[in-house]
């Protein structure tokens, strides 16, 4: 059955699945009806957040892209993870992505650096899910998210980074292009305190937004997922994620006290 899968489809499925599996504690579990489900520990490992079709799963196993997890973790009993072979193939696909190079949208923005100093950074706007939405137009010519929503989301993105919760996400602010503060090291204790404070800020913001809306902010602002990926993850109808995200960002903007446009 796997012989009928095109190379393009296989590469697409590797990108789709392995970006989730690269997170700490993520694993695959075979399903009774065929295929496998991707499980994340932050969801308790219960319901699969996405599914791998049976033919793709068969191919992953046949080509040693996945391996059984060692015994000992109750949550992950019978689980599978990316193998060294699978990770190498996925990393090659990520580093050799003509679409990403072709659609790079360069820009500059003042952001808070790792030492807490505000500087102007050169960034690829397409690497931020929010920036992509803000710079794309709907049929009526309006941005998919407006300036107020974008600013609120960026604030949460910054807090998420400061909280050190997104290290495994490809989110390149190209900090190497920013000038470095000469002669200044960073106190690890201070960094830890800043991370704890950022987590408190994030919790207050998400509590204000409330359940049912906070989840999409974590996916988009924190884990940099696009709207289609969010819809697949939550089993939502197509084109519904944008509306939910707009509502969530509006409530987040209220939390930050941003003036309405």
Strands laid side by side in the 36-39 sheet = 50-52, 36-39, 27-30, 79-82, 66-68
Q: Is the pLDDT of residue 116 over 90?
A: no
Contact yes or no for 80/36 (Cβ under 8 A): yes
The whole-number average pLDDT for the span 181-198 is 56
The pLDDT of residue 21: 80
The pLDDT of residue 223: 77
The pLDDT of residue 217: 93
Residue-wise pLDDT tens digits, 68-90: 988 765 455 678 998 989 888 88
Q: Is the pLDDT of residue 205 over 80?
A: yes
Residues 6+ apart with CB under 8 A from 154: 130
The domains of the chain are located at: 2-95, 124-256
* % of the chain at pLDDT higher than 70: 69
The pLDDT of residue 105: 53
The pLDDT of residue 39: 82
- Torsion sign over Cα 64, 27, 75, 50: negative
Q: Is the pLDDT of residue 255 over 90?
A: yes
Mean pLDDT for all residues in the chain: 74
- The token pair at 228 is 């289609």
pTM summary value: 0.49
Architecture of domain 2-95: Orthogonal Bundle (1.10)
Residue-wise pLDDT tens digits, 132-183: 788 777 778 888 899 899 999 988 988 887 776 544 333 332 232 233 333 3
Q: Is the pLDDT of residue 231 over 80?
A: yes
The pLDDT of residue 198: 84
The pLDDT of residue 254: 95
Higher pLDDT, 10 or 237: 237
Higher pLDDT, 114 or 85: 85
């Amino acid at each position: 059955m796997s012989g009928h899968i095109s190379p393009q489809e296989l590469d697409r499925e590797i990108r789709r699945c392995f970006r989730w599996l690269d997170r700490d504690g993520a694993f695959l579990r075979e399903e009774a009806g065929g295929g496998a489900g991707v499980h994340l520990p932050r969801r308790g490992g219960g319901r699969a957040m996405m599914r791998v079709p049976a033919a793709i799963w068969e191919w992953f196993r046949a080509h040693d892209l996945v391996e059984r997890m060692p015994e000992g973790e109750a949550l992950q009993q019978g689980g599978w993870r990316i193998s060294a072979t699978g990770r190498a193939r996925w990393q090659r696909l990520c580093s050799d992505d003509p679409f990403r190079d072709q659609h790079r949208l360069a820009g500059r923005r003042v952001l808070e650096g790792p030492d807490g100093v505000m500087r102007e950074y050169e960034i690829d706007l397409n690497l931020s899910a929010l920036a992509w939405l803000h710079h794309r137009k709907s049929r009526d010519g309006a941005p998919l998210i407006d300036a107020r929503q974008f600013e609120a989301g960026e604030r949460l993105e910054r807090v998420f980074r400061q909280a050190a919760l997104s290290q495994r996400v490809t989110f390149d602010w190209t900090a190497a292009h920013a000038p470095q503060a000469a002669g200044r090291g960073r106190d690890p204790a201070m960094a830890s305190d800043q991370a704890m404070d950022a987590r408190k800020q994030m919790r207050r913001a998400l509590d204000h937004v409330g359940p049912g809306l906070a989840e999409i902010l974590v996916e988009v602002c924190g884990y940099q997922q696009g709207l289609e990926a969010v819809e697949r993850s939550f089993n939502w109808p197509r084109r519904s994620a944008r509306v939910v995200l707009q509502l969530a960002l509006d409530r987040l903007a209220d939390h930050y006290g941003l003036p309405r446009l």
